[in-house]
Structure 1
Amino acid sequence: MRALLSGYYGKGNGGDEALLATLLQMLPPHVTPVVLSGNPQETRDRYGVETVNRMAFLPVIQAMRSCDAFIWGGGSLIQDVTSAINPFYYGGLMTLAQQMGLKTVAWGQGIGPLKRPQTRWLARQNFAGCTKVSVRDRASAALLSDWQISCILAPDPVWALESQPVPGLSDLPTPRVAVTLRSHSQLTETRLANLTSAVVDFQKATQAFILLLPFQKSEDLAIAEAIQPHLQDVSQIICLEDPQLLKGVYRGVEMTIGMRLHSLIMAAAEGCRCFALSYDPKVNRLMEELEMPGWDLANLPDDPHVISQAWIEHYNHGSRLSSEKLQSLVNQALMHRQVLAEALTID
């Protein structure tokens, strides 16, 4: 069986690459993946899979004709807040696959926000036509329930991604704290300046070595480079493309301060304390489900001292996920693998 995998792959985003790596890890052995990618060569080299340029219309159609199944491969693909085009691109591919008679799977999805009536209608049609659906949060499951569409609810698949140790990481000073910020309209110059001052205060108080981890170079690296001069000799920018290594960074980290959803999931999965800075409902959902401390960026305190004190308190007294809770999350995340096994049976 051949399956066409569609997601935000080959775009340099660590979270989406982690979803792809996890999906490839979970595919049944009889399934040959064909990946739609923004960088086909890089994706082919990294994972050893057949790839197609995600924006090349005719090759995508030809790939779809050669496949038996089509998979939406995790993440917030179906939302119209960051881009009004997203749901039409992914929804258009799903519609084509369903019309061509492929088995279709919506895997590890976080649905919404969907502000526009037309995108809600398309999403409802797409999900209703799927062979199997799995979602990663209760809000998405509730929306599908309202639409009378059955689904499996399980934690984000990346909880179950196998991490790899990072060469040379053990040579860096300890204790270590990771920081991942991303470009966003809510991260104004003033808020970034306040967060930078707070990181400097936090470092002085804890004597921690700060790892600045860009998850997507095009969005995150400039911010890391703006912060790093304020932390000379006590920080390092680490750019990793391989998602298993990216997750492995957190093995040697005491605490993570993160905006990106998958920075928080990877960190928590590797035993870190986490403090969230939310720019998106998906981060708020994770905070709620794990009782993770943090702020919405829109409500970030104006005083850097207040920010740093909250971080210091969590560093000194905050708790990691218990081993029982963590194992439960990993076991539940493996339900996404069962969805693939059930959907991709050979008739």
Structure 2
Amino acid sequence: MKGAVISGYYGFNNLGDEAVLYFILENLKREIPGVKITVLSNSPENTSKTYGVNSVKRDNFKDVIAAIKEADVLISGGGSLIQDATSFLSLLYYLSVIYIAKKLGKKVFIFAQGYGPVKRNISKKLAKYILNKVDYITLRDEDSKRDLLNLGLSPSKITVTADPVIGIEPEAIDEDAGKNILLKKGVDFKKPLIGISIRSHDDNEKIIEEVSRFVEIFQGGADFLLIPYHFPADLDISKKVMQKTYNNNVYLIEENIDPISAFSILKNLNLIVGMRLHSLIMACALFIPTIGISYDPKVDRFMKMAGNTFFMDAKEISGEKIYEMAIIRLKEGITKEERESILNLKKRAGETVKKLIEILI
């Protein structure tokens, strides 16, 4: 029986990373029935319960090494794991897991990751040394490939595909389950429903002020749903927007939800205004119009790849500008260029799975 260990930012209540894990698991189970999977997680009990797979504590290296010994391949990703913007220790952790797998003679597959930013010289040297040992690398954008080539990696084992979450198909999502969640929160679906995903950044007060202004300009002409994508990290800033608007047409997801529920909720929306990258990717996967508020180059990269011009820098966020974009998006929906770009990204996400199966089999 084939076996895989999956390493990533799992078990931290981050919807984007959990959606990545969901995609990997669903495809592995479909393509290799009976495959034995172990996920390295910050919360192994929750991961096992949610996805029905074996899971071990990600920082218990005795258990991590034991799991890798039993596997055929280590899958690293997706997301942006090889970066030192969060911390040097974060980068060191993910590279260490890869290094352990290679020392144990296992195959390593980088699953549709975004590389960087990597700023420290020691980080770059470690990344070059260890990533040169992996069997295959798939990336979610061309800029990441360029950075790895500049680092000195061979182009022969690098392919640009797409973020795996874009590969989720709308018909696989149960819309009614999400609708029931929203009905219990008081949403009556008599007006357009706009999702909002925001996070703390450089100027939280400005973000709160301008997002609240966007809501108020509608003057009750739409309902709004605040969705914390990283729980509970995004909950506080979402609550502050809700408190500032003083409207009874603003709703909040106050509990931690799994990616299956999140997709189901999103399928009931008419538009997403998002800072979190995966709020935008998940919406695009379901062909829901999006407006991006970019706090990181990865957001710009994705919006451009998706053929979407409706985004702005978080430093220049404006309630009026979001409103103007929202009126257009609600009226016109997904453009032809966006649909074609999204379909292409979906095809490329499927290529990641094919490459992985080739490595594993």
Cα root mean square deviation, aligned: 2.0
- AA aligned to 1:168 is N
SS in 2 for 1:334: helix
SS in 2 for 1:168: helix
1:80 Cα shift? 0.8
Correspondence for 1:163: 173
Corresponding residue to 2:315 among 298, 302, 305: 298
**Which string of whole-angstrom CA distances, capped at 9 and with x for unpartnered residues, describes residues 33-59 of structure 1?**
101001010001011111100111222
1:306 Cα shift? 4.2
Correspondence for 1:222: 236
Mean CA deviation greater in 99-108 or 166-175: 166-175
Rounded Cα–Cα distance in structure 2 between residues aligned with 1:336 and 1:187: 37
**Any conservation in 1 of the 2:10–2:18 contact (CA below 8 Å)?**
yes
**Any conservation in 2 of the 1:23–1:73 contact (CA below 8 Å)?**
no
Correspondence for 2:226: 212
Identity over the aligned pairs, expressed in percent? 31
1:84-123 mapped onto 2 (5 Å cutoff): 84-123=88-127
Unpaired segments of 5 or more residues in structure 2?
none
**Which string of whole-angstrom CA distances, capped at 9 and with x for unpartnered residues, describes residues 168-215 of structure 1?**
15743231110000122x2421332222222221x327x111011111
Structure 1 residues 80 and 319, CA gap change in structure 2 (3 angstroms): same
Correspondence for 2:298: 282
Rounded Cα–Cα distance in structure 2 between residues aligned with 1:335 and 1:232: 45
Correspondence for 2:35: 31
- AA aligned to 2:36 is T
Mean CA deviation greater in 167-176 or 240-249: 167-176
SS in 2 for 1:51: strand
Rounded Cα–Cα distance in structure 2 between residues aligned with 1:40 and 1:320: 41
1:323 Cα shift? 4.4
- AA aligned to 2:9 is Y
Rounded Cα–Cα distance in structure 2 between residues aligned with 1:47 and 1:319: 32
1:46-195 mapped onto 2 (5 Å cutoff): 46-146=50-150, 147=152, 148-149=154-155, 150-161=157-168, 162-165=172-175, 166-168=178-180, 171=183, 172=187, 173=189, 174-184=191-201, 186-195=202-211
Correspondence for 1:344: 360
Rounded Cα–Cα distance in structure 2 between residues aligned with 1:245 and 1:231: 27
**Any conservation in 2 of the 1:271–1:320 contact (CA below 8 Å)?**
no
Mean CA deviation greater in 148-157 or 3-12: 148-157
- AA aligned to 2:159 is I
Correspondence for 2:324: 309
TM-score normalized by the length of structure 2: 0.88
**How many residue pairs are counted as aligned between the two chains?**
340
Correspondence for 1:20: 21
Rounded Cα–Cα distance in structure 2 between residues aligned with 1:313 and 1:187: 27
SS in 2 for 1:179: strand
Structure 1 residues 85 and 157, CA gap change in structure 2 (3 angstroms): same
Correspondence for 2:249: 234
Rounded Cα–Cα distance in structure 2 between residues aligned with 1:169 and 1:241: 11
